[in-house]
Chain A
């Protein structure tokens, strides 16, 4: 491996790297909690407020259907948001730091 222990340690201790790692987990955490809140919230509504999901939007459509399918779509959009963030912000910062390590 072309990295020396010293330069590796320097990168690990650098504020840029620390910021990158904490930002990565902040984004992950926010998205994870969003997913958990939506999903567990849905389960709780199904358990305790079932009748509100049975309410009708039109004569042959209940709220349960768009909400259920909406959660599937929402989960996919969340993964899209993460990919968008990572491709546009994370990867660039990773590349910068990587160059620093490998050229050190």
Chain B
């Protein structure tokens, strides 16, 4: 039987694992990645002078390229290592997460992408504010954006520090500072053009690295996934191939599912990418390409998780990291040796850099475009002033992300990704969708909807088992759901509708008709 030898292999892994020591291949690979991306940044800097170049890469990215870049923005190290780790330790349940992360993409395509591209300029607030009063909308939308970005950023930075420490043996603080500085350089000098190419390179590296890892792993099972599954069930039982403890309470499942699905359609750094393509047709194509690559990626992480469970072994994986985050890396080392581990580790590092760069750029554009131009300057922008603010905001966010990374060291920040998705689904998505499809949506309705979504997400997550019990160690949670989206998003929609109906805004309704040529035909789109 194959599984005796597998167990033997598993048992010998810790002694041979080089995780945590400086791996020359991964250091070389990482420097190569930084060198190439810095060269791209230098090239992009020469082409990044105007606002449209800084925020939207001059709208010259093709649909296919943007699809890859969207995939790059979305496939974080958390989903690569985290989902593979979840499958490796819990089996099938990891796939339920992947499905939730993926099914938001079709909705972006059907409801958001094209109107967003046609109506907006740089941020999603452009669309919400298009026919409503600029100042109040800009202020609250940037609150929604910046909250989403900050929580996402903290989770990424803390994850990055920990991961790099485990991978390279580099101190946590050094890792956080390096990540912060490199990504700030991309955004500050190369703007969206450099950020886009960093995403594309990272997506190609990650997809090809994961593909090779799957091929190497399946080669141990005669290239038959069924043989892999049978090795899993022989060692850990049939339960691994079916849903387990993930869903204990159906309301929890629904709430988390909605947050993952609709939060995707409210992530500022994802929405911003649609402005980099020339028109709505390219925006549409980019979602199709992104969905395909992300779906393929989740298929790979699913197989990687099971292969790690079968080949490396659950006890070994959980022995190194309880959440199983090192599963993919241990599998890489076992199937491809130290050199391949180095390659995959460098890819994981590159992944983090690319994602935080995308987040920082979208945060900076919210500060400069929404807050500085439309709130402080009341819409009268001179390009030079706006660019100066955008660059300062980038620098400030870069510093802030390093600081947050240092402050939250060793804290449990896993809930922050869920929180970011909940705010995106509750504060950003309802207002954006209603502004696109509902004629009678008003400024007041939008403001109250966004505030309701953001505040409820924050308050309810504190009262939920996620923080109230797991972090604050109280006996029982005040709010029963682990993710608040079911309540906070529904409330945001209801409040937006009720407030809009109570106090109509005739000018906004009138403008809804005249904006239709731009929404549907793209006439006058930037």
A73-B295 in contact (CB<8A): yes
B292-A46 in contact (CB<8A): no
What separation, in Å, do the CA atoms of A96 and B384 have in the docked complex? 39
A76-B226 in contact (CB<8A): no
Tell me the smallest distance from the CB of A73 to a CB of chain B, in Å. 7
B2 at the interface (CB under 8 A from A): no
Interface string of A61-104 (1 = CB under 8 A from B): 11011001101110110111011001100010010011001100
A43-B110 in contact (CB<8A): no
Also in contact, A98 and B110, with CB within 8 A (given A39-B257, A71-B99):
no
Q: Which A residues touch B105, using CB under 8 A?
A: 75, 79
Also in contact, A91 and B287, with CB within 8 A (given A24-B520, A48-B250, A69-B302):
no
Interface string of A22-52 (1 = CB under 8 A from B): 0011011101100100011011101110100
B250-A44 in contact (CB<8A): yes
Tell me the smallest distance from the CB of B421 to a CB of chain A, in Å. 15
B106-A78 in contact (CB<8A): yes
Also in contact, A20 and B520, with CB within 8 A (given A40-B254, A71-B99):
yes
A32-B110 in contact (CB<8A): yes
A82-B514 in contact (CB<8A): no
B230-A72 in contact (CB<8A): no
A86-B261 in contact (CB<8A): no
Q: Which A residues touch B238, using CB under 8 A?
A: 54, 56, 62
Q: Which A residues touch B249, using CB under 8 A?
A: 47
B241 at the interface (CB under 8 A from A): yes
Interface string of B502-526 (1 = CB under 8 A from A): 0000000000011011001111100
Q: Which B residues touch A68, using CB under 8 A?
A: 92, 95-96, 99
A79-B241 in contact (CB<8A): no
Q: Which A residues touch B285, using CB under 8 A?
A: 83
A interface majority secondary structure = helix
Also in contact, A28 and B229, with CB within 8 A (given A72-B102, A75-B102):
no
User: In the complex, which residue of chain B has the Cβ closest to the Cβ of A87?
Assistant: B281
B103-A75 in contact (CB<8A): yes
A46-B295 in contact (CB<8A): no
B246 at the interface (CB under 8 A from A): yes
Also in contact, A60 and B516, with CB within 8 A (given A68-B99, A98-B523):
no
Also in contact, A43 and B229, with CB within 8 A (given A35-B107, A79-B109, A82-B110):
no
Tell me the smallest distance from the CB of B112 to a CB of chain A, in Å. 10
What separation, in Å, do the CA atoms of A47 and B246 have in the docked complex? 9
Name the one of A46, A75, A97 contacting B243, with C-beta atoms under 8 angstroms: A46
Q: Which B residues touch A12, using CB under 8 A?
A: 513-514, 516-517
Interface string of B212-238 (1 = CB under 8 A from A): 000000000000001101100100001
Also in contact, A61 and B295, with CB within 8 A (given A46-B253, A97-B521, A101-B517):
no
B314 at the interface (CB under 8 A from A): no
Q: Which A residues touch B92, using CB under 8 A?
A: 62, 64-65, 68
Within 8 A of A (CB), among B295-351: 295, 298-299, 302
A75-B246 in contact (CB<8A): no
B106-A35 in contact (CB<8A): yes
What separation, in Å, do the CA atoms of A35 and B212 have in the docked complex? 31
Q: Which B residues touch A40, using CB under 8 A?
A: 254, 257
User: In the complex, which residue of chain A has the Cβ closest to the Cβ of B231?
Assistant: A60
Q: Which B residues touch A78, using CB under 8 A?
A: 106
A72-B298 in contact (CB<8A): yes
Within 8 A of A (CB), among B143-189: none
What separation, in Å, do the CA atoms of A87 and B284 have in the docked complex? 9
What separation, in Å, do the CA atoms of A56 and B520 have in the docked complex? 48
Q: Which A residues touch B241, using CB under 8 A?
A: 54, 60-62, 64-65
User: In the complex, which residue of chain A has the Cβ closest to the Cβ of B93?
Assistant: A46
User: In the complex, which residue of chain B has the Cβ closest to the Cβ of A32?
Assistant: B110
Also in contact, A72 and B295, with CB within 8 A (given A46-B243, A61-B226, A83-B285):
yes
User: In the complex, which residue of chain A has the Cβ closest to the Cβ of B112?
Assistant: A28
B288-A43 in contact (CB<8A): no
What separation, in Å, do the CA atoms of A32 and B112 have in the docked complex? 11
What separation, in Å, do the CA atoms of A20 and B520 have in the docked complex? 9
Also in contact, A1 and B106, with CB within 8 A (given A39-B257, A62-B242, A72-B299):
no
User: In the complex, which residue of chain B has the Cβ closest to the Cβ of A73?
Assistant: B295
Also in contact, A21 and B520, with CB within 8 A (given A39-B99, A72-B299, A79-B291):
yes
A3-B523 in contact (CB<8A): yes
B35 at the interface (CB under 8 A from A): no
What separation, in Å, do the CA atoms of A20 and B519 have in the docked complex? 12
User: In the complex, which residue of chain B has the Cβ closest to the Cβ of A71?
Assistant: B99
Also in contact, A31 and B226, with CB within 8 A (given A47-B247, A75-B102):
no
B407 at the interface (CB under 8 A from A): no
What separation, in Å, do the CA atoms of A21 and B519 have in the docked complex? 10
Q: Which B residues touch A35, using CB under 8 A?
A: 103, 106-107, 110
What separation, in Å, do the CA atoms of A29 and B99 have in the docked complex? 21
B437 at the interface (CB under 8 A from A): yes
Q: Which B residues touch A64, using CB under 8 A?
A: 92, 241-243
A82-B96 in contact (CB<8A): no
List 8 A–B pairs whose Cβ atoms lie within 8 Å, in order of A's numbering.
Answer: A35-B103, A43-B96, A43-B254, A60-B226, A62-B238, A68-B92, A76-B288, A83-B285
What would 7 more interface pairs be, CB under 8 Å, given A87-B284, A101-B523?
A: A12-B517, A35-B106, A43-B96, A46-B253, A47-B250, A53-B243, A83-B285
User: What are the 9 A-B residue pairs with the smallest beta carbon separation, nearest first?
Assistant: A54-B242, A47-B250, A60-B230, A28-B110, A62-B241, A60-B229, A72-B295, A68-B95, A39-B103
B interface with A by C-beta (< 8 Å): 92, 95-96, 98-100, 102-103, 105-107, 109-111, 226-227, 229-230, 233, 238-239, 241-243, 246-247, 249-250, 253-254, 257, 261, 281, 284-285, 287-288, 291-292, 295, 298-299, 302, 437, 513-514, 516-517, 520-524
